[in-house]
Structure 1
Amino acid sequence: MPSRKLKQRIQDILDIGAEIEAFTQDMSFTDFQQDTRTIKAVLYNVAVIGEAAASLMPEAEVDYPEIPWVDIRGLRNIVIHEYFRVNIEIIWETIQRDLPPLLEQLQELQSRLNS
């Protein structure tokens, strides 16, 4: 796998993750739950993150096992294939609890790849 592709895909995920954080900044779960536009924007971005992660498989999964690649792809599959059954509360918890540490891990990985 060319390292430029890996670096670019990681940057894509970082950019999209930052966008999700910006979309939901200063929102409570109640605000989020009532904002259909933000929900749809977040779900779309979750799908894009999953696609970017999937494009790195299987090499990235083997080379960088500290990143939860399987979970990222799994969430994408739920959003895309079971759209009307998506649990908004789980999405909210994921972007609040799991997204920030994921972005930190990817930033660290990006820094290692750049040096």
Structure 2
Amino acid sequence: MKRIASLPSDEPARRLADIIHAIGLIEDYVRQAGGLDALMTVENAYHDAVERRLLIIAEAVTKLRGQIETLEPDIPWRDIRQTGNVIRHNYDGVNDAVIRSILEQDLAPLRAACERLLKHFST
């Protein structure tokens, strides 16, 4: 396997933009799968792609630790980080009900918070 080099970024604005982008891709995957019910019915490439984007969100939130929590205290930042740990370490036991709940209830407020934070860090 070829080694993949990553470009580290400590910029909060870049990480927030990554989260917003990942949320947009998740929304695209849900649409392309034929809706949330279709996405959650069977394991498929869209389902896998959603989990991958949730990992990216969790990793970005982890790297933003200490920089965002007090600015947006209503977002469950710790839970987001923990979701990444569950997907990473318990990949065969990821609860689809939890994923569904995240997609239905948590992404919109997270996007709104990240957009506000992005404005804050971009000025």
Instruction: Say whether the fold is shared (TM-score over 0.5).
Output: yes
Q: State the superposition RMSD in angstroms.
A: 1.8
Number of residue pairs matched? 111
Compute the displacement of 1:12 (Å).
Answer: 0.5
Q: Deviations over 1:41-90 (max 9, x none)?
A: 01111111111111112333345433321011011111111111101122
Distance 1:28 1:62, change over 3 A: closer
Identify the residue that residue 86 of structure 1 maps to in structure 2: 94
Counterpart in 2 of 1:54? 62
Q: After alignment, is 61-70 or 42-51 more displaced?
A: 61-70
**Hey, what's the Cα distance between the residues in 1 that align with 2:56 and 2:36?**
24
**TM-score of the aligned structures, taking structure 2 as reference length:** 0.80
Uncovered stretches (5+) of structure 1, i.e. residues with no partner: none
Q: 2:11 is paired with a residue of what secondary structure? A: helix
- Deviation larger for 58-67 or 105-114: 58-67
**How far does residue 93 in structure 1 lie from its aligned partner after superposition?**
1.9
Higher helix share: 1
Question: Aligned partners of 1:35 and 1:96: how far apart in 2?
Answer: 18
Output the CA distance in 2 between the equivalents of 1:111 and 1:63: 12
- The answer on whether the counterparts of 2:23 and 2:107 sit within 8 Å (CA) in structure 1 is yes
- TM-score in terms of structure 1 length: 0.85
- In the alignment, does 2:1 pair up with 1:5? no
Percent identity over the alignment is 27
Secondary structure at the aligned position of 1:110 is classed as helix
